[in-house]
A and B are shown apart, each in its own frame.
Chain A
Amino acid sequence: MTRNVVRKAAALLAAAVLIVLALPAAPAGAHGETAQESFLRMGTIAFWDVKYTESKVAQGQELTISGTAKILETWPDQLAEPKLGFIGVVAPGPVVVIKTRTINGQPAPAAIEVEKGGVYHFEMTLAGRRVGHWHVHPIFGIHGAGSLLGPGQYVDVSASPGGFANDITLVNGKTENLENLGIGNLTVWTIIWFAVGLVWLLYWIVPKPTVTRLPVTSQIPLNTDGGAYGLITKKDHRAMNIVMALTLFLVVGGMVYQANAYPVKMPQQVLRFAPEAAVMDATFVTMDPKDASYDVDSGTVHLTVAVTNTGSTPAAVEAFTTSTLTFDLAETAGPGTVQVSPSPVIAPGKTVTLVLSMTDPVWHKERLMPVGESRMQITGVVRTKDAAGHENFTTVQSFVKPSRIA
């Protein structure tokens, strides 16, 4: 009867999953960033000018992701102070490999020392590795706070004849494939040790019965080997001595082998440093955010900012960027755009109060307008450009008043 119940359960399980699989579903678009609180996403790191040189590569073919990330001055107080950071890539596993990375022009193999307000131009060269359709993001991790994702893009990796080979040249001049470097050494030693272990174990458990030893062992003291009763014999001792000697010989032999096969070695390197400060244009605008509101029904954010042009030429608002999103200046409202009223241009020496309006379903979809949450706030970077082509990136932050809570 149990068998029938169990069989029925197994059939049920298989049927249920098959039914589920038969129905198609829309593909995913984001990768976990929606789970981060909006104050965390917006108030920590801003990304701009993130560019991908290719969206379709073959295995082994390269593409470059470049952009700028800034650790905002509005870094939330409940997170640890930014001291150590890491710029990398998030993808569904090593579907791409990172070949090079520079931060503010310097090669950056490891984590970097960072600070609030720091601006980091990054450039990473990637190569396609696994065939597929992959969403890839730059990611900026801050020790103690977690990782913040930058704007992502799909990268298609197509098959190359011969598959993916990852050649690397050692300092000694040898070229190896990083995909299987050292596999011979690894395989041989793994097999050797399994064989040694099996010899040891099987010597005892194959010829000698096991459970029937208990009536005897339960009658002798713990620290005796029961040699007199045949539990462990002199032959057993001799055999185990041989296996032990062989083991020690292999250990010593192994060390001699590796010293000859790989004579030049060094420990893992931890090359962390504080990147040189990014070269930024001189400041020509200052901003004083006044307030912000969010119209729940139309999905529109209005941000009121008093902008002062301290430069000598007119300056214009170009874009607003926050988290993974960029809103570019446009005449008419639409997703991914920002409208500035009364005008995006600020005359030199003047202070004007501007309203930046952004209508986009993304505020609701990605939970970026935290209506009803414990911290209703918007943070982002306003990008302005003057007549000479200089750019300023100014952090603004304001509490948000929603049109309704429920």
Chain B
Amino acid sequence: MSATTTAPEAVDERTNALRKLLNRRYRFIDRKFDIVFWVTAAFVVAAAADITKLLFAGDWDFWTDWKDRQWWPMVTPFAVIIIPSALQYIQWLAWRMPTGAVYTALCMGVASWIGRIAQWDWFGGFPIVFVWPVTIIAAAVWLDWVLLKTKSFVLTSLIGGFGFALILWFVNYVILAPYLQPVDWMGLPLTVSDVQGIEYVRGQTPEYLRMIEHGSLRTFLGETQYVSLAFGATLAVAGYWLGQFIGRMLAIWPIGRFIKRF
């Protein structure tokens, strides 16, 4: 056999070996391990994603009268991209599945809705139309799709992160729209969401706690939301790398590593 033909054969051999390995039948490992992994991991992923959203951007997420165009588009993408980014790294590295962001979005979505209905509605008594949570699924689809196409976390952080923040805003703005309709309240023009805030008694949330656009000297010709979105997108990129740190250093790095001395 001539030497020039050994290299392509070697590649073919490796390719065939890996293909075979992918389809290998195991004695003990079966689909039950997959089911258990995806179902039980959903609880911890939901937990991590929800607590991050709640304590970084929770108040904006709780109330319609906090979902403004200055702060909400800025804090929310940052808060909700962190855990999807970490899961993207883990699920791409381990399984080559572009599912980390959508998986997190679904888990967090279910957890958020259970929380709002079981606690804010049934326990607290607030109507769900006042306390609905954001949905990040569409933004997560974009993030996972960019990873699938680019196979690069750097590009995903930039293109994916920017798109994530924008899609997040547009999707949730559609849901918010009815609550931005004007109402006459005691002769003053308010939005439906402002009236919800006035009417539904929140004993420990006085209105001055609301961190929303107060009107500014410079409203950029009414483009406040786009300026906030652009900044929010930048913060989303930063949040993406925070998530990468979590995935790489806290989830993957410890594998097989032991502390010898205390």
Chains A and B touch (C-beta atoms under 8 A apart): yes
Which of B138, B185, B214, B224 has the most chain A CB within a 10 Å cutoff? B138
Provide the bound-state CA to CA distance between A194 and B109, in Å.
8
Assess A166 versus B199: contact at CB under 8 Å? Given A189-B174, A197-B105, A255-B174.
yes
Which of B109, B113, B204 has the most chain A CB within a 10 Å cutoff? B204
Interface residue A270 (Cβ < 8 Å from any Cβ of B): yes
- Mark B92-125 against chain A: 1 for CB-CB distance below 8 A, else 0: 1111111100110110010001000000000011
Select B127's contact among A88, A179, A214, A220, beta carbons within 8 Å.
Answer: A179
Residues from chain A with a CB closer than 8 A to the CB of B125 are 93-95, 129-130
Evaluate contact between A193 and B31: CB separation under 8 angstroms.
no
Q: Range of interface residues on chain B?
A: 35 or more
Residues from chain A with a CB closer than 8 A to the CB of B208 are 84-86, 110-111, 141, 143, 272
Interface residue A306 (Cβ < 8 Å from any Cβ of B): no
Summarize A's interface: helix, strand, loop or mixed.
mixed
Assess A196 versus B135: contact at CB under 8 Å? Given A166-B199, A168-B192, A178-B195.
no
Residues from chain A with a CB closer than 8 A to the CB of B38 are 205, 210
Provide the bound-state CA to CA distance between A243 and B99, in Å.
13
Interface residue B193 (Cβ < 8 Å from any Cβ of A): yes
Evaluate contact between B148 and A232: CB separation under 8 angstroms.
yes
Evaluate contact between B141 and A244: CB separation under 8 angstroms.
yes
Shortest distance from the beta carbon of A304 to any chain B beta carbon, whole Å:
37
Residues from chain A with a CB closer than 8 A to the CB of B196 are 178
Assess A169 versus B183: contact at CB under 8 Å? Given A185-B174, A210-B38, A225-B151.
yes
Shortest distance from the beta carbon of A196 to any chain B beta carbon, whole Å:
6
Interface residue A343 (Cβ < 8 Å from any Cβ of B): no
Q: Which residue of B lies closest to A228 (CB)?
A: B15
Assess A141 versus B151: contact at CB under 8 Å? Given A107-B188, A204-B99.
no
Assess A170 versus B175: contact at CB under 8 Å? Given A197-B140, A201-B99.
no
Residues from chain A with a CB closer than 8 A to the CB of B181 are 170-172, 262, 264-265
Q: Range of interface residues on chain A?
A: 35 or more
Residues from chain B with a CB closer than 8 A to the CB of A170 are 181-183, 192
Interface residue B187 (Cβ < 8 Å from any Cβ of A): yes
Provide the bound-state CA to CA distance between A224 and B96, in Å.
9
Provide the bound-state CA to CA distance between A251 and B26, in Å.
43
Residues from chain B with a CB closer than 8 A to the CB of A90 are 201, 203-204
Q: Which residue of A lies closest to B95 (CB)?
A: A213
Evaluate contact between B127 and A226: CB separation under 8 angstroms.
no
Evaluate contact between B185 and A197: CB separation under 8 angstroms.
no
Assess A182 versus B188: contact at CB under 8 Å? Given A254-B170, A267-B180.
no
- Mark B162-175 against chain A: 1 for CB-CB distance below 8 A, else 0: 00000100110111
Select B201's contact among A91, A183, A193, beta carbons within 8 Å.
Answer: A91
Among the stretches B16-24, B47-55, B229-237, the one at the interface with A is B16-24
Residues from chain A with a CB closer than 8 A to the CB of B26 are 212
Shortest distance from the beta carbon of A34 to any chain B beta carbon, whole Å:
16
Residues from chain A with a CB closer than 8 A to the CB of B144 are 200, 240
Interface residue B221 (Cβ < 8 Å from any Cβ of A): no
Evaluate contact between B65 and A268: CB separation under 8 angstroms.
yes
Residues from chain A with a CB closer than 8 A to the CB of B33 are 210-211
Evaluate contact between A189 and B175: CB separation under 8 angstroms.
yes
- Mark B134-148 against chain A: 1 for CB-CB distance below 8 A, else 0: 010110111011001
Which of B29, B142, B144 has the most chain A CB within a 10 Å cutoff? B144
Shortest distance from the beta carbon of A146 to any chain B beta carbon, whole Å:
9
Shortest distance from the beta carbon of A32 to any chain B beta carbon, whole Å:
9
Interface residue A279 (Cβ < 8 Å from any Cβ of B): no
Instruction: Give the residues from 160 to 196 in chain A that come closer than 8 angstroms, CB to CB, to chain B.
Output: 166, 168-172, 178-183, 185-186, 189-190, 193-194, 196
Q: Which residue of A lies closest to B201 (CB)?
A: A94
- Mark A72-112 against chain B: 1 for CB-CB distance below 8 A, else 0: 00000000000011101111011111111110000101110
Interface residue B13 (Cβ < 8 Å from any Cβ of A): no
Q: Which residue of B lies closest to A126 (CB)?
A: B201
Provide the bound-state CA to CA distance between A219 and B201, in Å.
58
Shortest distance from the beta carbon of B243 to any chain A beta carbon, whole Å:
16
Evaluate contact between A267 and B191: CB separation under 8 angstroms.
yes
Further 15 A-B residue pairs, CB within 8 A, beyond A109-B190, A262-B178: A88-B202, A90-B204, A93-B125, A111-B207, A171-B189, A185-B174, A190-B132, A201-B103, A215-B24, A226-B96, A229-B15, A237-B148, A255-B174, A266-B189, A267-B69
* B contacts, CB < 8 Å to A: 15, 18-19, 21-24, 26, 29, 31, 33-34, 37-38, 65-69, 92-99, 102-103, 105-106, 109, 113, 124-129, 132, 135, 137-138, 140-142, 144-145, 148-149, 151-152, 167, 170-171, 173-175, 177-196, 198-204, 206-210, 212-215, 224
Lowest 10 CB-CB distances: which A-B pairs, in order? A90-B203, A86-B206, A182-B178, A141-B206, A107-B186, A111-B208, A265-B180, A254-B174, A258-B177, A197-B137
* A contacts, CB < 8 Å to B: 84-86, 88-91, 93-102, 107, 109-111, 129-130, 139, 141, 143, 147, 166, 168-172, 178-183, 185-186, 189-190, 193-194, 196-198, 200-201, 204-205, 208-217, 219-220, 222-226, 228-232, 237, 240-241, 243-244, 247, 250-251, 254-255, 257-258, 261-262, 264-272
Residue pairs across A and B with Cβ atoms less than 8 A apart, 14 shown, are A110-B194, A143-B208, A178-B199, A181-B129, A190-B175, A197-B106, A213-B95, A215-B21, A222-B92, A231-B96, A251-B138, A255-B170, A265-B177, A266-B189
